[in-house]
Amino acid sequence: MKNFVILICIVFIAASVSTTYAQLSKEEKKEWKKKAKALKKNPEELKNIFDENAALKSEISGYKRQISSLEGQVKEKDNQVASMTQKMRAMEQEVAAAQQAAASKPAGPSYDDSGVVFKVQIGAFRDRDMSKYFDNTENFTGETDEGIQKITLGRFRDYWEADTFKKYLREMGVGDAWIVPYKDGKRVAMKDVLEGVI
């Protein structure tokens, strides 16, 4: 029985190296024949070789499972990256559309300047520059004429509402407050618009 096991082991070794054996040179063939004879005489060493071979195959199988698991994780991460890239491109398109929409809008507050509008001028200043505050609200505006900056408050379609606001400002201490009319966004004389309004 012992000889039978040894014979099976030798056959197994011969079968496992048969593909390599065909490519061996004459010297290599002689060397492997000597090794096979030595193993035939020492079955413990042959058993150790088989055990080591089985352990290595098991280890390789474990590595293959790890590789397969890692490949699955990489594929999942690739899908996440593709999804995030798609979302990022969609957001970039939204940002570009918003930037384009913002660029096409006129600067400053958006309000209708058509028709007649009354504002209350609270002062005219030569050495003050308050233009940086004009874009913050549509009710605080100004214009510069011959180096003088004229500051106005409010936007009224009704003359009497503007007049009431002017009176409140005067009560609060702005004694120079007075009503100025605008027609289609341009400052005009009061007589040009007063007949149609009052």
Does pTM top 0.85 for this prediction? no
CB 140 within 8 A of CB 153: yes
On the question of pLDDT at 111 being above 70, the answer is no
Q: In total, how many domains does the chain have? A: 2
The mean pLDDT of 106-132, rounded to a whole number, is: 75
The mean pLDDT of 119-129, rounded to a whole number, is: 83
CB 138 within 8 A of CB 159: no
Residues facing 140 on adjacent strands: 153
Question: Does any domain span residue 154?
Answer: yes
- pLDDT of res. 112: 67
Question: Does any domain span residue 181?
Answer: yes
Question: Does any domain span residue 9?
Answer: yes
- pLDDT of res. 25: 86
Residues facing 148 on adjacent strands: 145
- pLDDT of res. 115: 84
Question: Does any domain span residue 121?
Answer: yes
CATH number for 152: 3.30.70.1070
Residue ranges making up the domain that contains 21: 2-41
Quote the mean pLDDT of the chain: 80
Question: Does any domain span residue 145?
Answer: yes
Question: Does any domain span residue 190?
Answer: yes
- pLDDT of res. 81: 93
Question: Does any domain span residue 50?
Answer: no
Least Cα distance to 194 among 175, 181, 176, 178 occurs for 181
The mean pLDDT of 62-91, rounded to a whole number, is: 91
Other C-beta atoms closer than 10 Å to the C-beta of 120 total: 25
- pLDDT of res. 175: 85
On the question of pLDDT at 162 being above 60, the answer is yes
Least Cα distance to 131 among 118, 145, 117 occurs for 145
- pLDDT of res. 31: 85
Least Cα distance to 176 among 125, 117, 118, 116 occurs for 125
Q: 3-state SS of 32-89? A: HHHHHHHHHHCHHHHHHHHHHHHHHHHHHHHHHHHHHHHHHHHHHHHHHHHHHHHHHH
Higher per-residue pLDDT: 171 or 47? 171
What percent of the chain stands above pLDDT 90?
15
On the question of pLDDT at 21 being above 50, the answer is no
Q: Can you say how many angstroms the Cα of residue 195 is from the centroid of all Cα atoms in its chain?
A: 58
